[in-house]
């Protein structure tokens, strides 16, 4: 299959972006795996398409199984996300505010 087409915007790992049957973008891990639940293939114009195999339409010979990236993304799985606010130059006010006592001092 093709080389990774982009990086995940959350964890910055390589992913393949596919187009689902409904026309939506869907990120999958770049390496085919037997544990995957997304079938991906190239259509006639070279677009990477994906679908969910079913009993009615099982995996076809020209398709490979991939794992959806959302299942393996380190940020979505509970790992510490990168602090994007630092990159944007945004200051978090809750970190900068001091505790005032209730007497007004």
Q: Give the pLDDT of residue 3.
A: 58
Question: The tokens 């990086």 sit on which residue?
Answer: 7
Q: Are 49 and 41 in contact (CB under 8 A)?
A: yes
Instruction: Enumerate the H helices of the chain as residue ranges.
Output: 69-72, 84-88, 93-96
Average pLDDT of 92-96? 64
Per-residue model confidence (pLDDT) at position 105:
54
The pLDDT tens digits for 46-89 are: 999 999 999 999 999 999 999 999 888 887 765 555 555 555 66
Contacts of 52 (CB under 8 A, 6+ apart): 37, 38, 39
Is residue 104 one of the residues assigned to a domain? no
**Domain housing 85:** 6-96
14 belongs to a structural domain? yes
Mean of the pLDDT values across residues 16-34?
Answer: 93
Q: What percent of the chain has pLDDT over 90?
A: 53
Report if residue 103 sits inside a domain: no
How many domains in the chain?
1
15 within some domain: yes
Beta-strand runs (E) in 20-85: 25-28, 38-42, 48-51, 64-66
State residue 99's pLDDT score.
Answer: 59
Q: What is the pLDDT of residue 43?
A: 92
With respect to residue 102, please indicate whether it lies within any of the assigned structural domains.
Answer: no
Query: Would residue 105 count as lying in a domain?
Result: no
């Amino acid at each position: 299959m093709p080389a990774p087409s982009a990086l995940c915007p959350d964890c910055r790992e390589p992913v393949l972006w596919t187009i689902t049957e409904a026309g939506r973008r869907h990120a999958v891990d770049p390496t085919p795996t037997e544990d995957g639940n997304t079938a991906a293939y190239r259509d006639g114009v070279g677009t990477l398409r994906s679908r969910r195999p079913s009993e009615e339409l099982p995996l076809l010979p020209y398709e490979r199984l991939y794992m959806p990236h959302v299942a393996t993304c380190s940020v979505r799985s509970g790992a510490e996300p990168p602090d994007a606010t630092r990159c944007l130059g945004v200051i978090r006010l809750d970190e900068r505010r001091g505790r005032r006592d209730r007497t007004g001092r």
